[in-house]
Structure 1
Amino acid sequence: MSFTDLGLADGIVRAVTEHGYSIPTPIQAQAIPAVLAGGDLLAGAQTGTGKTAGFTLPILHRLATSGTPHASASAQRPIRALVLTPTRELAAQVEESVRTYSKYLNLNSAVIFGGVGINPQIKLLKHGVDILVATPGRLLDHMQQGTVNLSKVEILVLDEADRMLDMGFIKDIRRVLAVLPKNRQNLLFSATFSNEIKALADGLLNSPAMIEVARRNSTVEVIEQKIHPVDRDKKHPMLAHLIKTNNWSQVLVFTRTKHGANKLVEQLEKDGISGMAIHGNKSQSARTRALSEFKDGSLQVLVATDIAARGIDIDQLPHVVNYDLPNVPEDYVHRIGRTGRAGATGEAVSLVCVDELDMLKDIEKLIKRKLPSEVIVGFEPDLNAKPQPIQRRSNDAPGRRPQGRGNAPAKSAKAPGAKPSGPNGQVRSFGGNANARPAAPHRSGGRGR
Structure 2
Amino acid sequence: MSVDSKVKESPQSNILPAATKDADQAKFSSLALDDRLLSAVEKLGWQYPTLIQSKGIPLALAGRDLLARARTGSGKTATYALPIINRILLEKQTDGNSKRSVRALLLVPTKELCEQVHKQVRELTLYCSKLVAVTAVSSTVEVEEQKAALLQASDILIGTPTRILAHINAKNVDVKSVHSVVVDEADLLFSFGYENDVRTLLAHLTVGYQSYLMSATMTKDVEALREIVQTNPAILRLNESHLPEDSRLAQHIIRCEDKEKYLILYSMLIFKLINGKILLFVNSITEVYRLKLFLDHFSIKACVLNSELPHNSRQHIVQEFNKGVYDIIIASDENSALADEDDSDDEEDLTTLRGTQAVASEEKSNVMEGKKKRKRKNNQKDGEYGVTRGVDFNDVNWVVNVDFPVHSNAYIHRVGRTARAGKAGNAISFVTQPEHREVLAKIEKKLKIHNHETSQKESVLRPYAFSMTKIKGLKYRVDAAITTLTRGAIKQARLREIRTEILNSQKLKDYFAENPRDYQVLRHNDVLDTKKVNLGLKHIPSYLMPSKVAILQEKEALYAGSAPAGGEFSHARNLKSKHSAHKRKYKKAGDKKRPSSDPLKSFSVGGNKKAKK
TM-score (norm 2): 0.59
What is residue 414 of structure 2 aligned with on the other side? 335
Deviations 1:356-388 (A, max 9, x none): 33332332233235521125222799xxxxxxx
Query: In structure 2, what is the Cα distance between the partners aligned to 1:193 and 1:96?
Result: 26
From 223, 244, 247, the equivalent of 2:270 is: 244
Q: CA deviation at 1:115?
A: 3.2
Indicate the SS of the match to 1:343. coil
- 1:277 is the counterpart of 2:304: yes
What is residue 382 of structure 2 aligned with on the other side? none
Q: Which has the larger radius of gyration?
A: 2
Contact 1:230 1:380 (C-alpha < 8 Å) held by counterparts = no
Higher RCO (C-alpha under 8 Å, 6+ residues apart): 1
Query: In structure 2, what is the Cα distance between the partners aligned to 1:116 and 1:241?
Result: 43
From 190, 212, 220, the equivalent of 2:244 is: 220
Shift in CA distance, 249/195, structure 1 to aligned 2, threshold 3 Å: same
* Matching residue's letter, 1:372: R
What is residue 127 of structure 2 aligned with on the other side? 104
What is residue 332 of structure 2 aligned with on the other side? 305
What is residue 411 of structure 1 aligned with on the other side? none
Contact 2:277 2:395 (C-alpha < 8 Å) held by counterparts = no
- 1:358 is the counterpart of 2:448: no
Deviations 1:165-215 (A, max 9, x none): 222222222121111211100000000111331232133212111111134
Q: Does 62-71 or 194-203 show the bigger shift?
A: 62-71
Question: Which structure 1 segments of 5+ residues have no match?
Answer: 382-438, 441-449
* Matching residue's letter, 2:243: T
Structure with the largest fraction of helix: 2
- Identity percentage over the alignment? 32
Query: In structure 1, what is the Cα distance between the partners aligned to 2:304 and 2:239?
Result: 31
From 93, 116, 127, the equivalent of 1:93 is: 116
- 1:48 is the counterpart of 2:73: yes
Deviations 1:49-73 (A, max 9, x none): 1111111111111111111799866
* Matching residue's letter, 2:42: T
Q: CA deviation at 1:273?
A: 2.0
Q: CA deviation at 1:129?
A: 0.6
What is residue 283 of structure 2 aligned with on the other side? 256
Number of residue equivalences: 380
* Matching residue's letter, 2:283: R
Query: In structure 1, what is the Cα distance between the partners aligned to 2:281 and 2:74?
Result: 21
Contact 2:251 2:460 (C-alpha < 8 Å) held by counterparts = no
Indicate the SS of the match to 1:32. helix
Query: In structure 1, what is the Cα distance between the partners aligned to 2:135 and 2:308?
Result: 24
Q: CA deviation at 1:247?
A: 5.3
- 1:184 is the counterpart of 2:209: yes
* Matching residue's letter, 1:284: H
* Matching residue's letter, 2:123: T
* Counterparts of residues 55-94 of structure 1 (less than 5 Å): 55-67=80-92, 77-94=100-117
What is residue 413 of structure 1 aligned with on the other side? none
Q: CA deviation at 1:277?
A: 1.9
Query: In structure 2, what is the Cα distance between the partners aligned to 1:300 and 1:269?
Result: 14
* Matching residue's letter, 1:100: E
Query: In structure 1, what is the Cα distance between the partners aligned to 2:81 and 2:420?
Result: 19
Query: In structure 1, what is the Cα distance between the partners aligned to 2:470 and 2:447?
Result: 26
Deviations 1:99-147 (A, max 9, x none): 0110111111011122333333221111111111101222233233232
Contact 1:125 1:148 (C-alpha < 8 Å) held by counterparts = yes
Q: Does 182-191 or 282-291 show the bigger shift?
A: 282-291
From 163, 176, 187, the equivalent of 1:162 is: 187
From 463, 478, 484, the equivalent of 1:373 is: 463
Query: In structure 2, what is the Cα distance between the partners aligned to 1:139 and 1:325?
Result: 35
Contact 1:325 1:359 (C-alpha < 8 Å) held by counterparts = no
Q: Does 358-367 or 109-118 show the bigger shift?
A: 358-367
Q: Does 303-312 or 366-375 show the bigger shift?
A: 366-375
Query: In structure 2, what is the Cα distance between the partners aligned to 1:253 and 1:379?
Result: 24
* Matching residue's letter, 2:267: H
Contact 1:87 1:308 (C-alpha < 8 Å) held by counterparts = no
* Matching residue's letter, 2:389: R
Contact 1:254 1:305 (C-alpha < 8 Å) held by counterparts = yes
Indicate the SS of the match to 1:308. coil
Question: Which structure 2 segments of 5+ residues have no match?
Answer: 1-25, 334-385, 449-458, 472-505, 508-613
Indicate the SS of the match to 1:168. coil
Q: CA deviation at 1:287?
A: 0.5
Q: CA deviation at 1:263?
A: 2.2
Shift in CA distance, 260/21, structure 1 to aligned 2, threshold 3 Å: same
From 209, 226, 242, the equivalent of 1:201 is: 226
Shift in CA distance, 318/330, structure 1 to aligned 2, threshold 3 Å: same
What is residue 230 of structure 1 aligned with on the other side? 256
Q: Does 200-209 or 317-326 show the bigger shift?
A: 200-209
Contact 2:274 2:398 (C-alpha < 8 Å) held by counterparts = no
* Matching residue's letter, 1:318: N
Indicate the SS of the match to 2:227. helix
